[in-house]
A and B are shown apart, each in its own frame.
Chain A
């Protein structure tokens, strides 16, 4: 039983790590600021959730797992707030969204 649980948790955590790497590749690869934010939100949602789910299977029903749940809730409540505030600040400072035909990156004043 415990071996099965171990394997499931390792698979979940590795998947989470893969999604984190994919999100990071997206942040590096995407053109323009707003498109990069979409890639970063993959890390914050799927990557973080899968890793924390895997850790939850490891820890079982203890105080540590309650703290992991609080950590998960913290990520889920605070990461959209932080990304919205960043996007709003960039928008109000006039960062232009990237257009497919323009080719260059969306930099403006900074």
Chain B
């Protein structure tokens, strides 16, 4: 498992190197490959090549989750923009605690980051299996408390 992970990290690093460099001569490509191998070797010595640093297992589930998340982001960004340009600024800031049903740290990070990425809600602190969320409006807080996003992240975590 660890060997498969290391090889996959080498390939992603090399692809990233190719994209950034833009040189496709054999000599430079060999150097790029060597440097990615060296980086992964150092990372193995530091013991940071694992599921958390390179979450391959989420790959399939995430593909179904991201489009939904993008639609959600656009909708809530539109709502927040309307609130900002409204002359009376009709906001009702709320703090609430949301349960998270994810098991792994990676799933919890995905959930907390999705909450922060959606304008209108920000994850402020993580306590045990709850997230302290600051919401701009009460409606946004109720939306989040409905648990739709939580269910989707858990499903995306479970599908892997």
A binding-site residues for B, Cβ under 8 Å = 19, 22-23, 25-26, 29-32, 34-35, 37-39, 41-42, 45-46, 63, 66-67, 70, 76-77, 79-81, 83-84, 87-88, 91-92, 97-100
Contact = CB atoms under 8 A, between A and B. Distances in A.
Interface stretch (B3-11, B57-65, B88-96, B144-152): B88-96
A91 B125 CA distance: 8
Contact of A100 (B92, B118, B124): B92
Contact of A42 (B20, B81, B116, B122): B81
Contacts of B120: 38
A91 B124 contact: yes
B80 interface: yes
Interface of B: 16, 19-20, 22, 73-74, 77-78, 80-81, 84-85, 89, 91-93, 95, 112-114, 116-125, 132, 134, 136
A1 to B, nearest CB: 27
B112 A84 contact: yes
B19 A70 contact: yes
Contact of B113 (A26, A67, A80, A100): A80
Q: Which of B91, B95, B119 has the most CB of A within 10 A?
A: B119
A93 B83 CA distance: 28
A99 B119 contact: no
A25 B122 contact: no
Interface pairs A-B: 3 shortest CB-CB: A80-B116, A26-B84, A46-B77
A6 B139 CA distance: 39
Contacts of A35: 91, 93, 136
B124 to A, nearest CB: 5
Given A38-B136, A76-B117, A100-B92, A46 B123 contact: no
Contacts of A19: 77, 81
Contacts of A66: 19
B87 to A, nearest CB: 11
A38 B122 contact: yes
Contacts of B91: 30, 35, 100
A9 B61 CA distance: 31
